[in-house]
Structure 1
Amino acid sequence: MELNEFKISVLPLRPKLLNYARKLTESPEDAEDAVQEVLLKLWNNRLELDQYRSIEAFAMTLTHNVCMDQWRRNRDNSSIDQLQTVAGGRTPDHLLELKDEVKLIRAIIDSPPPLQRTIMRMKDVEEYESEEIAQITGCSAEAIRSNLSRARKKVRDIYLQTIQERKRRKQS
């Protein structure tokens, strides 16, 4: 699909996609971001759009998925960031320890190599299916399973090592 054909068949869908995204996100800014991401994905996959019976239906599905991904990311980040509120009447020292713990966990999750980290986040945080991850990353299903296993093992090992080091420091 060339630029002119893209302008004729895809860009007119923008208002409809934006209305749908606004309903899902309840935020004009998030809706705009989602639609921009959808249009970018459509442009990047423009050579394969001819295989779909309805580009509009495909675009609506993409919009739905992007909005759900945004919701999951916001939900997961807010639950970690609101850890302090859950702590209730704890002391400031305890709240500081919780905040440090959150930083540590985020650092541990960011420790695997980029591809492994991306696959782990897509699978465990954003709840993508393995087939979807394979399509997005261009990796085989076996490579997805292998990278996911390695990433999880690395995160687990670093976490357990950190816990053991803390126990040793407390005992000394």
Structure 2
Amino acid sequence: MELKEFKITVLPLRAKLLGYARKMTDDSEDAEDAVQEALLKLWAKRLELEQYRSIEAFAMTLTHNICIDMWRSKHNDKLSLDSVQAESSIGSPERLLELKDEMRLMHEIIESLPPLQRTILRMKDIEGYETDEIGEITGCAAEAIRSNLSRARKKVRDIYLQTIQERKERRKKP
């Protein structure tokens, strides 16, 4: 499935997927994130979509599963030290807690970005898409993608460094 066919077949489902995601998440931002992730997964599977009897049913199922995963991740943030230790025999429990804390911080920082910056950052830095691919999927010009990516990276870096500095200052105070 090429981009043109994807736009004709899949993108019109966005409104229906968004409505369903809003019911599942009770949060419009989470719903938007779920639909964006679903559309990205559909795009990644675009060559296989023709094997499904109903692309709409597949898209709804995908959105449903993403919403469930989001709910689970929000309610599963509190891992016991034993489970963290069992999952990794590398490093001390203190280091594992530090890594988990840093990962949670980075996740929170990325989630705080405006939706377009967050999406572009994820697509480029996490999922490895090229700028022209991101442009085709999002409909943004290459310059806008580079600009949003630069702003997103700067904001993540600034917030991260500020948070780390604040933590160090808190530790110094008696």
Shift of 1:114: 0.3
CA contact (8 A) 1:83 1:98 kept: no
The 5 A counterparts of 1:63-142 are 63=47, 85-86=87-88, 88=90, 90-91=92-93, 93-142=94-143
Unaligned runs of 5+ in 2: 13-42, 49-78
Q: How far, CA to CA, are the matches of 1:104 and 1:61 in structure 2?
A: 31
TM-score by length of 2: 0.50
Partner AA of 1:158 in structure 2: I
Q: How far, CA to CA, are the matches of 1:90 and 1:83 in structure 2?
A: 10
Shift of 1:105: 1.5
Partner AA of 1:90 in structure 2: S
CA contact (8 A) 1:111 1:155 kept: no
CA contact (8 A) 2:6 2:46 kept: no
Q: How far, CA to CA, are the matches of 1:60 and 1:139 in structure 2?
A: 18
Shift of 1:99: 2.4
How many residue pairs end up in the alignment? 106
Q: Alignment RMSD, CA only?
A: 3.5
Aligned residue number for residue 145 of structure 1: 146
CA contact (8 A) 2:110 2:118 kept: yes
Partner AA of 2:171 in structure 1: K
Partner AA of 1:114 in structure 2: P
The structure having more radius of gyration, on CA atoms, is 1
Aligned residue number for residue 43 of structure 1: 9
TM-score by length of 1: 0.51
Shift of 1:43: 1.2
Shift of 1:87: 5.6
The share of aligned pairs that are identical, in percent, is: 58
Shift in CA distance, 83/139, structure 1 to aligned 2, threshold 3 Å: farther
Unaligned runs of 5+ in 1: 1-9, 11-38, 47-58, 65-80
CA contact (8 A) 1:119 1:133 kept: yes
Q: How far, CA to CA, are the matches of 1:139 and 1:89 in structure 2?
A: 43
Shift of 1:171: 1.1
Structure 1 segments of 4 or more deviating over 2 A? 39-42, 59-64, 81-89, 93-101
Shift of 1:144: 0.5
Q: How far, CA to CA, are the matches of 1:83 and 1:108 in structure 2?
A: 23
Partner AA of 1:100 in structure 2: D
Q: How far, CA to CA, are the matches of 1:109 and 1:41 in structure 2?
A: 27
Shift of 1:165: 0.3
SS of corresponding position for 2:112: coil
